[in-house]
Structure 1
Amino acid sequence: MKRMSALLCAAQICVATLACATPLEITLPPETAVLKPSALPGYPLAQQKCSTCHSADYINFQPPGMSLTQWTGEARKMQQVYGAPISDQDVNIIGAYLAATYGSARASDADVQAASSPPAPVAKVDAMALLQSNSCLSCHAINHKVVGPAYREVATKYANDPQALAKIMSSIQKGGTGKWGNITMPPFAQLSPDDLQTLATFVLSQ
């Protein structure tokens, strides 16, 4: 009985100690893996879309020599199985870039060039549709910090800056790090000037 009491007492002490312990904080090292550069339009698109969910190392670790069909299949799997926010056109463009840069295809191949062709112009879309289709809301929210700053915080910072619109458009297009901490924002170089203006105007209106 005494032994049982001693064990219960020890267990209570352990529980109390854990309850009072300071939560463990883990700081991950900055990301160093990068995608291989390419003149194909899939390169900036992959920088923006793929880095939202995983490191470039995921691509580096795939089997060498994969074909255009295989790499396009990988991009489509990300879309259909894992819910990556990429369109069917994005799948083809990213697949062509990956096949020519990491696989057996060449950038000059006719099928790579065909898959890399930009989509036909579409009607102007609203800011919320752009935010959703470009995964912006994975890292930002209107009024609270997620990975990046809240849009309302950005609007407050630039409230009295006459160059605010141009600066925000540039930040969205080119990405970067250091303005709001060490987390890197991927570039959105594929966005049109109209789309960049729509997004920047939305952010500054919060």
Structure 2
Amino acid sequence: MKRMKYMMTLLCAAQVCLAGWANAAPLSITLPPETAVLKPSALPGYPLAQQKCSICHSADYINFQPPGMTLAQWTAEAGKMQHVYGAPISDQDVSTIGVYLAVTYGSAQTSDADVQAALNPSAGPPPAAPAAKVDAMALLQSNGCLACHSIDQKVVGPAYHAVAAKYAGDPQALVKVASSIQHGGTGKWGNIPMPPFAQISPDNLQTLATFILQQ
């Protein structure tokens, strides 16, 4: 009988604890602001890495890689991001980013023959004729914008509905939104920084900004 009473007491205590947990306020966790940055460089892969790599991970991911990696190794890492993790980068982006990472973080030198070959591909196809205006949704997908934004729900960054509402009636809205896309920044929608998209052409910036403001 004493054992039965003891077990009942434990059961009641457990139920009280569970009830307390169920009624407790949700736990709120605030992450520290991002401080890691990519090492600056005059190489064309630097702004491209700022734009593309920071969509999915911090610059610390690069800092944690083994020192002295070669051009082939860094290019393979960039290729893995493309083929395994679905990063929105082209084969040319992989090569360009690989050069930047290998020279800035690895053992490669700008004067190396393989680096120069990657920077100045001589056997590539001739420049293509100007393409027709790209669809806004295709631009959003190819630049990884939808990894952090959606049309009507906040993800990492604000929903495009919220951006359109913020700038409603502002005669400079198109210029401001296009500039935010091109230069990135932090503070407008919280502490999480938006990477710069400096590689997007002026026409495509206008297409994206117009689409966002129409939501």
Mark yes or no: TM-score above 0.5: yes
The equivalent position to 1:106 in structure 2, one of 99, 106, 109, is: 109
**Counterparts of 1:125-136 in structure 2 under 5 Å?**
125-136=134-145
Distance 1:54 1:14 in 2: 39
Query: Which residue of structure 1 aligns with residue 168 of structure 2?
Result: 159
Distance apart, 1:110 and its partner CA: 4.0
Distance 1:34 1:127 in 2: 29
How far apart, CA to CA, are the structure 2 residues paired with 1:159 and 1:25?
Answer: 32
Residue 167 of structure 1: how far off its partner (Å): 1.3
How far residue 192 of structure 1 moved from its aligned partner, in angstroms, is: 0.9
8 Å CA contact 1:68, 1:112 repeated in 2: yes
Structure 1 residues 105-114 or 28-37, which shifts more?
A: 105-114
Counterpart mapping for 1:118-197 below 5 A = 120=127, 123=131, 124-197=133-206
CA drift at 1:126 = 0.9
Consecutive aligned runs of 4 or more in structure 1 exceeding 6 Å deviation: none
- SS at 1:51 equivalent: helix
Report the AA paired with residue 76 of structure 1: G
Q: Is the 8 A contact 1:42 1:116 kept in 2?
A: no
- Quick one: which amino acid aligns to residue 193 of structure 2? T
Letter paired with 1:99:
A
Question: 2:64 corresponds to which letter in structure 1?
Answer: F
TM-score, normalised to structure 1, is 0.93
SS in 2 for 1:86: coil
Identity %: 78
Q: What does the per-residue CA deviation read over 1:24-74, in whole Å, with 9 as the maximum and x for residues that have no partner? A: 111011011100001111111111211111111111111111111000001
Which of 1, 4, 7 lines up with 1:4 in the alignment? 7
Structure 2 counterpart of 1:62, from 37, 43, 65: 65
Cα distance in 2 between the residues matched to 1:204 and 1:117: 39
* TM, length-normalised to structure 2: 0.89
Secondary structure at 2:168's aligned position in 1? coil
Rg larger in structure = 2
Partner of residue 37, structure 1: 40
Q: Gapped runs of 5+ residues in structure 2?
A: none
User: In 2, Cα distance between the equivalents of 1:18 and 1:199?
Assistant: 46
d(CA) in 2 for partners of 1:188 and 1:110? Answer: 30
Q: Which secondary structure state, in structure 2, belongs to the residue aligned with residue 166 of structure 1?
A: helix
Distance 1:89 1:150 in 2: 31
How many residue pairs were aligned?
Answer: 206
